[in-house]
Structure 1
Amino acid sequence: MAYARHQSFYIRDKWFSKGLKAVKQNKRFFFDEYAFETVGLGKNMLESLKYWLLAFDVLEERTEEGQRVHVLSELGDILLDSDRLLQRNESLSILHYHLVRNRKDLSTVFDWYFNKYKETMVSKRDLFNSFITWVSQNEVKEVSQNSLKRDIDCLIQFYTKVPDENDPEDVLFCPFSKLSLIKSEHSGERDDIIRKVTPELTTVGIPSLYYVLLDYHEISEDRLISVEEIVNADNLWGRIFNLSRNKVVEALNILTTHDKFPIEYIRTNNLDYIRVPMISSIDYIKGEFLKG
């Protein structure tokens, strides 16, 4: 598990585009001593950008000819070509999913908050204390409370730092605030209240929901998955996007009418299942994003 590798910076507007373009042009970009000057970021910000790209699974580190390099993943290439400025909510939703999925063990606080933490409304202080407790129960070594506090602060800002309507030049907002998954409410002198919010399906985007479903690693060989699992299992819609059962069923009904890859409802042992077609998540989203 990993903590506070973001250097206390949530990802800013335009960072994603800068990072993808720089790596596409130079595999050794993040190892260049003066790379921060190339993209106009401070050194710590540049380190933060590298962290986010790795945590989103759009950047891969490998060794070539004895040197460490970075290359874009298939998803990174697709987003570079189709939406490097992250203007589509579907792009944000897919990256949010990868962050919470935490495959590379880089984004523990996001995995914990969406997959493990069940409370939907809590004070910021209680949220922090709950994270401390969970980490202490799941880590062998002690983790600095300062690091955990930075993680909680970053988690909240990541989804709540909206653009300043009075400042068209505002570059400090986080693009992921458009997903409306978390709300921070000020309560006078008391601690802020942090809420999980159920977004509209149009906000998340049906294509991104389908991508998550196709990417689910627990899916059986017969391509069946239960509706209850989609609602309640880690890394699926109910957890990742705070969706209620009604919202999940609504989205599944839409996917039964997909023009190329419709899902199929099946009832087995008095349980509702759906069968998904034989297509990979990356091939599916490539078709959705790179049409025409």
Structure 2
Amino acid sequence: MAYARHQSFYIRDKWFSKGLRAVKQDKRFFFDEYAFETVGLGKNMLESLKYWLLAFNVLEERTEDGQRVHALSEIGDILFESDRLLQRNESLSILHYHLVRNGNDLSTVFDWYFNKYRETIVGKRDLFNSFITWVSQNEAKAVSKNSLKRDIDCLIQFYTKVPDVNDPEDVLFCPFSRLSLMKSEHSGERDDTIRKVASKISTIGIPALYYVLLDYDQISEDRLIGVDEIVNAENLWGRIFNLTRNKVVEALNILTTHDKYPIEYIRTNNLDYIRLPMVSSIDYIKGEFFERMTY
């Protein structure tokens, strides 16, 4: 598990595009001592940018000819070609999913908050203390409380740092605030209240929801998955996007009418299941981003 690798910086507007473009032009970009000057970021910010791209699963590190290099992953290539400025919410939702899924073991606090932490309303101090408790129970070695505090602070800013409506040149907001998955409410001198928010299906985007389903590791060979699992299992809609069962069913009903890859409802032993088509998450999202969306 990893903590505070973001250098205390949530990802800023336009960072994503800068990072992907730089790696496209030079696989050794993030190993260049003066790379920060190329993209106009400080050294710590550049290190943070590299962290976010790896945590989003859009960047892969490998060895070529004895040197470490970076390359875009399949989903990284798709987003670079179709929406590198992250103007579409479904792009943000897919990246949010990869953060929460934590496949590279880089974004522990996101995995913990959305997948494991069940409270929906909590004071910021209690949220921090709950994270400390969980880490102490799951780590063999002690982790600095300062690192854990930086993680909680970054997590909250990541989803709540909205643009300043009075400053059209504001570049300090986080694009992921558009997903409306969290609120931070100030109460005078009292502790801030942090709320998980159930976003609208239209805000998340049906393509992103379908991508998450198709990318789920636990799909059985007959492509069946239970509705209850979609609501309650880690790395699925209920946990990742704070969706209620009613919202999950609403989205599934929309997917039954998909013109190319419709899902099918199955009822077995009084339990509701859906059957997914034989298409990978990558092939599906390529079709959605390149064939269906207008520019």
Shorter-normalised TM range:
over 0.9
What is the Cα deviation at residue 142 of structure 1?
Answer: 0.1
SS at 2:23 equivalent? helix
Q: Aligned ranges for residues 264-283 of structure 1 at < 5 Å?
A: 264-283=264-283
TM-score, scaled to structure 2: 0.99
Instruction: State the distance in 2 between where 1:199 and 1:90 align.
Output: 12
Instruction: State the distance in 1 between where 2:139 and 2:40 align.
Output: 37
Report the equivalent of 1:41: 41
Instruction: State the distance in 1 between where 2:274 and 2:64 align.
Output: 43
Instruction: State the distance in 1 between where 2:59 and 2:104 align.
Output: 11
Q: Deviations over 1:222-270 (max 9, x none)?
A: 0000000000000000000000000000000000000100000000011
Instruction: State the distance in 2 between where 1:289 and 1:166 align.
Output: 33
Report the equivalent of 2:184: 184
Q: Aligned ranges for residues 46-125 of structure 1 at < 5 Å?
A: 46-125=46-125
Report the equivalent of 1:131: 131
Report the equivalent of 2:220: 220
What is the Cα deviation at residue 198 of structure 1?
Answer: 0.4
Instruction: State the distance in 1 between where 2:105 and 2:269 align.
Output: 37
Instruction: State the distance in 2 between where 1:226 and 1:185 align.
Output: 35
Instruction: State the distance in 2 between where 1:64 and 1:217 align.
Output: 29
Instruction: State the distance in 2 between where 1:159 and 1:35 align.
Output: 28
Report the equivalent of 2:168: 168
TM-score, scaled to structure 1: 1.00
Structure 1 unaligned spans of 5+? none
Report the equivalent of 1:208: 208
Instruction: State the distance in 2 between where 1:291 and 1:58 align.
Output: 21
Q: Deviations over 1:116-163 (max 9, x none)?
A: 000000000000000000000000000000000000000000000000
Report the equivalent of 1:9: 9
* Matched AA of 1:52: W
* Matched AA of 2:118: K
Report the equivalent of 1:194: 194
Q: Deviations over 1:57-88 (max 9, x none)?
A: 00000000000000000111100100000000
Instruction: State the distance in 2 between where 1:205 and 1:91 align.
Output: 9
* Matched AA of 1:232: N
Report the equivalent of 1:255: 255
What is the Cα deviation at residue 291 of structure 1?
Answer: 1.4
SS at 1:87 equivalent? coil
Q: Does the alignment pair 1:286 with 2:286?
A: yes
Q: Aligned ranges for residues 17-32 of structure 1 at < 5 Å?
A: 17-32=17-32
Report the equivalent of 1:158: 158
SS at 1:290 equivalent? helix
What is the Cα deviation at residue 32 of structure 1?
Answer: 0.3
What is the Cα deviation at residue 54 of structure 1?
Answer: 0.2
Runs of 4+ in 1 over 6 A off after TM superposition: none
